Amino acid sequence: MRRAAVAGLRLAALASLCQLCCLPPAFAAGSVSYWPLYLSGSSLDSNSTRSAENNVYYGVISMGTPAQQFTVNIDTGSSQLWLPSILCTTPSCTTHKQYNPNDSSTYRPTDYTVELQYAEGAVAGFVDTDVFSVGSPAITIQNQGFGEMTNVSSDFTTVSSDGVMGLSPEASSTPSFLQPFLRMADGNLLAQPEFSLWLNPDVTSLTGGEMVFGGYNTARFTSPLQGIAAVNSSKYWQVNLDAVTIGGKAVSGIQAKGAIFDSGTTAIIVSTQDFQTINEAVSGLQYNSELQAYVIPCEQATNANVPALGFKMNGTDFTIPQTAWLFELVDTQASDGSPLCYSSISPGNGASDPITLGANFLREWFSVYTYEPPNSRVQLAPASGSSGSA
């Protein structure tokens, strides 16, 4: 889903905002909570065709009293929690579960409205509060703020998740009550002010991944965690980028000086110039103007022919194999009829923007996100079942 920008958050009554933010979450100090994630093929999405083709990671939450269950895309690249409203009548809402405030005794309206613009899609609606619960053992937060979206663009019709749960560290430009993790961390109510993310490298498995609030599961990585320099942005899980490497050698001419970890994005997103520079540094990749992508015959897309792609951060080169970013095209073949593969290193960022490391990278690297501003940080280790190496 890529990163989200707040197009408009119109706020009234600052006193009401303080009242909402300061209400304490209702769960025990020192909690560690496990949250299973899903990708494709899950019966949680009643649309079996959409479920089979879904490419965003999501988990189950509950909202309201009695609890209404929803699925939300876990998005480390945005900072808002939202659900489709029963008042929304377009297929982007009606093909999903919709929040009904009339069915919840703990629903409370606010004076706020919210509009969110994503790189792909937009939503708008009201800010409500209600009882929120996630994970096992459950973390329950009273009066959790969230967007009840009455307008949801058609982009969301094709994804399995009902809504989005932002997990970025942004707390300055939007009210922090819109982000459940920040309420957990700010209240010192987790065993550690962090969450960890394992995305199953086997995308065919019904087990899509796992998130842990307050710690991490040591069974999900294969060697010690490696820390990356303190996050240098209050908006994203962003770190300095030393270099992009191919086969251990730095690629010259890279514009990006930073990298963002974004679980809501499937690919690796770069600037137009870096799109060309990185792909053309890989022997065998050729630009296809019709597809607007770099392609290579799949028989050449092997570890022997395509060296590991790396992102050097804090002096360590975190690499991913060609299987993590070269994928076979479904409806397009080479001129001789043989399978053709495409590079998922894609344009979309501005010239000065950090590289966005999406799920293709995060499936190879287990990640831990610690929220301790101004010293927030990210740690990485090879994910269980992956080929990533440093």
pLDDT tens-digit series, residues 137-162: 999 999 999 999 999 999 999 999 99
Beta-strand pair 355-357/258-261: parallel
Q: What percentage of the chain exceeds 90 in pLDDT?
A: 77
Class of domain 221-382: mainly beta
**4-213: CATH, from 3.40.50.300, 2.40.70.10, 3.40.50.970, 3.90.1150.10:** 2.40.70.10
**H or E, element range at 195:** strand 194-199
60: number of CA atoms within 13 Å, CB side? Answer: 11
Radius of gyration of the chain (CA): 21
**Mean pLDDT of the residues in the chain:** 89
386: Cβ–Cβ under 8 A, 6 or more apart, which residues? 201, 222, 363, 364, 365
* Residues with a known catalytic role: 75, 262
CATH topology agreement for domains 4-213 and 221-382: yes
User: How confident is the model over 2-29, as a mean pLDDT?
Assistant: 39
Q: What is the mean pLDDT of residues 31-55?
A: 94
**Mean pLDDT lowest for which of 59-73, 130-144, 183-197?**
183-197
pLDDT in tens, 98-126: 999 999 999 999 988 999 999 889 999 99
Q: Quick one: pLDDT at residue 175?
A: 53
pTM of the model: 0.90
Ranges of each domain in the chain: 4-213, 221-382
